[in-house]
Structure 1
Amino acid sequence: MSHPAGAHLLVVDDEAQILELLDLTLSMQGFTVTCAASGPEALERCRAQRFDVIVMDVLMSPWDGFESVRALHRELGAATPPVVFLSGLSRREPLPELGEHVRAEYLVKPFRPSQLVERIVSVLGTS
């Protein structure tokens, strides 16, 4: 699968084992990966550097994935990276309002690594 070599991803999940698995999987696919264990930590990481895509778990605390992206959008505006949301909950309704400039995809767990890479490539293509 072709994708922009070395695209820098911010991966956000409050479960350490999932975060480690995503880091390993995406690094093996040629992405540069930075991890965060919460929405507030993701915001701090985004203040410090720029990311091409954010891979964000939905069910987290203290902020869920949607709240986290809205907080990022309030701070970054149009510079908010596109997001791939990951969730164990199936999603039939549209994504909630995240901010005027936020591009997002949704992937239901469990998924194959190739499906995640496809979603990342998809949101990169819409940047």
Structure 2
Amino acid sequence: MKLAARRMARTLALVLPVVMVMTGTLAVTQVRWAGGADSQLLGPTGSSDAAEEPPQQQLRRHLLAELWENDPGVALDGLAQAMRERPSLTQYCTGIAKELGRAAVEKYKGNLEKARAFARPVCDESFASGVSTAR
């Protein structure tokens, strides 16, 4: 009786950690990591085109819409938030910020001073660079 109990305990001691690791790993792979604020920041993904679009394009499209609906400051704040929440997108930050700068100049019909007034220290002042090169 004691021998059977000891054998069962050894078997459990060897098998249980493996089972726990495997189920934990499988559970982690099922978590939707891009939920919550990120999915809202990146815009709706209901259409099949948006689902196929890379995250940086979704972010760019969403921020340009914010710029036109509100002002460039709102778009730049959204860009800064996206960079904090999705560090994998930081390689696209400069390009997006420059594009926002050019769009701000377009929104304000070439008024560089008005567009430049919204500059924020996001992506090494790339917004201001985009405003300057918009001519």
- The TM tier, using the shorter chain, reads 0.3 to 0.5
More helix by share: 2
Greater RCO, 1 or 2 (C-alpha within 8 Å, sep 6+) = 1
- Find the structure with the greater CA-based Rg: 2
TM-score, normalising length: structure 1:
0.34
Higher share of residues assigned strand? 1
Give the TM-score of the pair, scaled to structure 2.
0.32
